[in-house]
Amino acid sequence: MKDMDTAIKAGYGDVEGLYAYTRYGNPTNHAVERKIAAIEGAEDCVVTASGMCAISTTLLSLLSAGDHMILADTVYGGTFEFVHNILPRFGVEFTSVSGINKLSLPHQHSKLTGATTLICAVALLIFGSRLLHTHDQAETADLY
């Protein structure tokens, strides 16, 4: 490193190709991110250490105090707990609904508010859980 300013920026992950602290990035993660983005035809990608890290980061980046979200009961239990116990501390309100798909959402329309920012219907294949298939999610999104 040439100077202290560069060292400080590197410490915060702000220097491309310079990895001073692995939590801010490392060559392996960046290679995986670039490959996934290319496969998906996406502009960029972020890999996380866990699914809960991914969903909590996503929700915290999309929602603000005063926002409202619709939460399907098909979500992963950790996501359900995060939305029920953590997000309200940040002023985010939610309404839980029983399943979300192209057939049920029109009946759930009354639960949408002017502050509804997000509908969370991510479902995982877990024994005993009801599933919302990916094609249903895409068709449901087209309704709005």
Read off the pLDDT of residues 8-21 as tens digits, 9 standing for 90 and up.
776 666 666 677 67
Q: Tell me the β-bridge partners of 120.
A: 71
Please report whether residue 45 resides in a domain: no
Residues 103 and 135 reside in one and the same domain: yes
Please report whether residue 89 resides in a domain: yes
Q: φ, ψ for residue 106 (rounded to 5)?
A: -60, -30
What contacts 60, CB < 8 A, 6 or more positions away? Answer: 90
Residues 36 and 65 reside in one and the same domain: no
Q: For strand 93-97 and strand 68-72, is the pairing parallel, antiparallel, or unpaired?
A: parallel
Query: Which two tokens mark 49?
Result: 């250490």
* pTM more than 0.75: no
Residues 91 and 129 reside in one and the same domain: yes
Residues 62 and 106 reside in one and the same domain: yes
Read off the pLDDT of residues 21-53 as tens digits, 9 standing for 90 and up.
777 778 888 899 999 999 999 999 999 989 899
Domain assignment of residue 13, given as a range: 4-40
